[in-house]
Amino acid sequence: MTRTVHLDVEDGIGTIRLDRPPMNALDAAMQDQLREAAEEAARRPEVRTVVLWGGEKVFAAGADIKEMQAMSYADMAERGAPLQEAFTAVARIPKPVVAAVTGYALGGGCELALCADIRIAAENARLGQPEILLGLIPGAGGTQRLSRLVGPSRAKDLIFTGRQVKADEALRIGLVDQVVPAEEVYAAARAWAARLAAGPALALRAAKEAVDRGLETDLDSGLAIERGLFAGLFATEDRETGMRSFVEEGPGKAKFR
């Protein structure tokens, strides 16, 4: 099988790279490879942080519409779960994840960017959920993750109209977190990832879990999740290192293993 998703690891940063030119259309095979790459990134201890990257020209322009056009209700009823599982595998990588978005991130491409912890976009980026224009709705998490990120009203506007959002508007509504020149997107994403790759891995994992799981429940339950994870970190070597360094050298100088 031709590989259309790659995991490249360097200096603690795992880049999950989409590679199906010209538009990185996410067909079923690519979705399955995306899940495999996410699971591998989660499993490998030398991967400390992850960058999602579609290349210099385009992040991902959406699903493979020609493939979907030939599918019946029964076909999609069978395919729907693996589709969502691929994206959920990315969202559940227990490490910091940043999406480096260039060009189009539409439909499934936007849904993939939503699976990251933060999104750095190029000035030429275009994001959106245009499924309504096909008589559909987002099916890889867009109705859920987009509304949690930008709020239900803004999410409904984008989903109901199918319109594309330019980088400046995406930044204003919180769909992306930073906008840089197109030629600097991947470097900016790697810089963010590199800063965290040297951090305390278990504390970062706990922080991500506390935020993500807390958003799925009520405040009291979220506080209970936080409390358990916070206490658990007192059993880690990184906690000993961090506190000892703070007492002996001052803040921000700890070197975590």
User: Per the omega criterion (within 30 degrees of 0), is the bond before 21 cis?
Assistant: no
Structure tokens given for 85: 């599982």
Closest CA to 17 of 105, 108, 110, 100: 100
Largest CA distance in the chain: 65
Considering the candidates 40, 111, 240, 248, report the single residue annotated as catalytic. Answer: 111
Closest CA to 88 of 19, 42, 49, 21: 42
Centroid of chain to Cα 112:
6
User: Cα(110)–Cα(173) distance, rounded to whole angstroms?
Assistant: 15
36 is catalytic: no
User: Cα(227)–Cα(193) distance, rounded to whole angstroms?
Assistant: 27
Considering the candidates 67, 78, 131, 240, report the single residue annotated as catalytic. Answer: 131
The identity of residue 210, as a single letter, is A
111 is catalytic: yes
Q: In this structure, are residues 38 and 84 in contact, taking their beta carbons and an 8 Å threshold? A: no
State the CB neighbour count (10 A cutoff) for residue 122. 25
Residue 105 is classified by DSSP as E
The Cβ-side half-sphere exposure at 191, using a 13 Å CA radius, reads 8
Closest CA to 64 of 97, 87, 30: 30
Question: Which residues belong to the active site?
Answer: 111, 131
